[in-house]
Structure 1
Amino acid sequence: MWKMESPPTWREWLGELISNPQERQRITRVVGVHPITLVRWATSKSTPHREYLRPLLDAVAPIPGSQTFLESFQQEFPHHLAESGAEYDSQQEISSAFYAQVIATYTSSLPILRASTICTLILQQMLDHLDSSRLGMKIVVARCVPPQPEQKVRSLRAIVGRGTPPWESHLEDHIHFLGAESQAGHAICSGHASIIGSHVVKMQQFPAHYSTYEESSMVYPLMLAGRIAGCLCLSSTQQHYFNEPRLDLIRLYGELLMLAFELDSFYELEQIELGIMPPGFRQQRYLASFQQSVVQHMLQAARNHEILSRPQAEKLAWWEIEDALLRLAFKQGEEENTDESA
């Protein structure tokens, strides 16, 4: 393999590996960097940041003869490697103490508060775990809007969100509906996680849902036995942030989030037929009418001598907003088509 008397350096070893397109793609995926970054490392034009040391070793370790790579690597990074290794290993699992905390919260929370309490607890822990260096991340839970009678699920609604700077810590003021036009909608309809490594790609694929400061994004469907309740939506200020190790962690947190949803909140893929929703800024005036709509429904029920609980009134109000937003998006689509044909 090598036409030299002295053992190859880790950079030379890496350069030989990534000359194979399949290996280059695999290592890129595991480490969570752009292919060009691997080339720069191999040609000594740049040096891996601390957070990539352990993932790079993990990517190379299964390859026969990798001991040569490891020895050279350890010579260049003797101290940083040990530190990153300890940090990396600690990030690969959720602590048993946190599992116990979630279970205790589930058993002690009132049913009406259980979903929001568990979601908030888990999102905050995810931020501490996945963005311990506070580089910038936001995480939002979106759930399927219960379908109206004789209809399928037509939209998702973000219900709770948390972030680290430059985003706000509480994102409830930015809650809105999502449809087939969004990355979340794409992940829900496919039943698979959706990962985008740069804002350039996000702008190309989902232009109406690009968030300021967002460099990479990921959506993970919340599924139970093939049925979907919603999804986790994550954004980072760092490009290609959601590598395989972080995906594994997000999957574990997603499994914990199942406790926030009742069984009737999960829907078969065949029951989901998302419509198109307008951009978030166009939704705000409709969302602002939510509380007033809830009160009106309860007052109307009282005048009719009917019993209508607060959750039932909220469901009716959300349905009204969903209908209005779907009509708005349809109208905008027709207007755009008219302008193009004019």
Structure 2
Amino acid sequence: MQEPRTWREFLAAVIRDTKEKQRIANEMGVDPVTLTRWATHESSPRPRSLLNRLVEALPPHREQLIQLIRQEFPDALEDDPGSVFIDPVVKDVPPVLYARILEAHATVVESLRSWTIMNLVMQQLIRQLDPQHIGIAASIAQCQRPLPPQQKVTCLREVFLEKSQALTSIARRGYFLGAESLVGYAVIQCRPIVVQNLQEASDFVIPQALVSEARSAAAYPLQRAGQVAGALLIISTQRDYFLHGRQALIQNYAYLLSLAFRDDEFYDIKDIELRLMPSESVQNAYMATFNQRVNELLSQAERRGQPLTRREAEEQVMAAFLATPVQSPTEQAPE
């Protein structure tokens, strides 16, 4: 085979294999016809950041492909030959967002303040990280308030989800997450945890609704002065998506999200002892009868002459569920 003289010739040779062509198109989030048009010089990648995804989709040919691309697009790469493309969209948090967050923090009533700030931050985060709608989902897992007789935070719970348009099948489920989860580990360690290839890292649990789509993930603790309120989880449908520029950007968004929580929602690390949580199927089964259990508890309390508020009953039912012993993931019976 003659050595390709341009990146387009290289691409043309690779996509002769129709299965490989479809794989590359899927990983890049483009139509296979687009690859053909690039190869035949009918069109060029717009935006140039798509070239980054082409390199990421062909890791065995990375250095050769970078050199060939530079012949046509010399400014598409940094000076370091071993560096990856930097998506020009990934820069800083827009100054106008800081202003809107500060305004919401100062003026929105407390009952709506948390959701308002989360909504503002997460929408902008998704737009900035995924301008081409390749596939990004971001969720917030909050430390679950300890319930008597517990004195420690034993789990997190999903409280917010935002996603790009490409991930229409994903919905927030409000699952409990513990020491087995990626967000749980980020909270315990009080530092960001980035997994560039989830297929090679099975140590951490990602919410099941995201697993089939996820190829890489990052979790950032939401902290203030050494205390933690939860974690931000971001998954991408692309491997090796969390480049240094994106990591720095996400960290800034995590700092902004800390403004969504009250002072009493932050916990010292010594007061956080996450345990293993039941599988999502077990949680689904329990939550399906949650209201029924709450109503039964309210009726029993009424008959005893010791009435409860609904919130108190809900907390007792939740505490009973979270107190249930859980086997480690490797010991659980197959579902």
Assess same fold via TM > 0.5.
yes
Q: Answer yes or no: is the 8 Å Cα contact 1:145–1:156 preserved in 2.
A: yes
Say whether 1:285 aligns with 2:285: yes
Could you tell me which runs of 5 or more consecutive residues in structure 1 were left unpaired when the two chains were aligned: 1-30, 61-68, 74-83
Residue 46 of structure 1 and its aligned partner are, at CA, apart by: 7.6
Is the Cα–Cα contact under 8 Å of residues 157 and 177 in structure 1 kept in the other structure? yes
Q: Counterparts of 2:75 and 2:186 in 1: how far apart (Å)?
A: 29
Q: SS of 1:257's equivalent?
A: helix
Asked whether the 8 Å contact 1:223–1:266 carries over to 2, the reply is: yes
| Aligned-residue offset at 1:56 | 4.3
Amino acid at match of 2:262: E
Q: Distance in 2 between matches of 1:157 and 1:309?
A: 20
Q: Give TM-score scaled by structure 2 length.
A: 0.69
Amino acid at match of 1:40: H
Correspondence list, 1:115-134, <5 A: 115-134=114-133
Pairing 1:233–2:233 present = yes
Q: Give yes or no for the alignment of 1:42 onto 2:41.
A: no
Rounded to whole Å, the distance in 1 between the matches of 2:58 and 2:113 is: 44
Where 2:275 maps in the other structure, the secondary structure is: coil
CA RMSD after TM alignment: 3.7
Change (3 A) 1:322 1:307: closer
Q: Return closer, same or farther for 1:248/1:305 CA change in 2, 3 Å cut-off.
A: same
**Cα 1:127–1:39 shift into 2, 3 Å:** same
Check whether the contact 1:176–1:287 (CA below 8 A) recurs between aligned residues.
no
Is the counterpart of residue 110 in structure 1 residue 131 in structure 2? Answer: no
Alignment partner, residue 154 of structure 2: 154
Q: TM-score, normalised by structure 1?
A: 0.68
**Please, which moves more after superposition, 40-49 or 133-142?**
40-49
* Equivalent runs, 1:304-319 vs 2, <5 Å: 304=305, 308=309, 310=311, 312-319=312-319
Partner of 1:330: 327
Counterpart contact for 2:180–2:205, Cα < 8 Å? no
Decide which structure has greater helix share: 1
Q: 1:55 to 1:233 in 2, by over 3 A?
A: farther
* Preserved CA contact (<8 Å) 1:142 1:230: yes
Distance of 1:256 and 1:193 partners within structure 2: 15
User: How many angstroms apart in 2 are the aligned matches of 1:305 and 1:216?
Assistant: 51
**2:151 alignment partner, SS class:** coil
Q: Is the 8 A contact 2:186 2:221 kept in 1?
A: yes
Contact 1:41 1:47 in 2 (8 A): no
- The letter of the residue matching 2:116 is T
Letter in 1 for 2:146: P
**Offset at 1:213?**
1.2
Is the CA contact 2:56–2:240 (under 8 Å) kept in the aligned structure 1? no
Are 1:245 and 2:245 counterparts? yes
Question: 1:102 & 1:219 partners in 2: Cα distance?
Answer: 22
Partner amino acid, structure 1, of 2:185: H
245-254 vs 114-123, which deviates more? 114-123
- Paired residues, number: 275
The whole-number CA distance in structure 1 between the counterparts of 2:55 and 2:306 is 64
SS in 2 for 1:43: helix
Q: Does structure 1 residue 206 correspond to structure 2 residue 204?
A: yes
Q: Is the 8 A contact 2:298 2:307 kept in 1?
A: no
Gapped regions of structure 2 (runs ≥ 5): 1-51
1:160 Cα offset (Å)? 1.2
CA change 1:37–1:169 in 2 (3 A) is: closer
Per-residue CA deviations over 1:121-157 (Å, capped at 9, x if unaligned) read 2211111111111000111100111123443111111
TM-aligned CA deviation for residue 321 of structure 1: 3.0
Residues 14-39 of structure 1 show CA distances to partners (whole Å, capped at 9, x for unaligned) of xxxxxxxxxxxxxxxxx999999677
Aligned positions of 1:249-264 closer than 5 A: 249-264=249-264
| Offset, 1:289 | 3.2
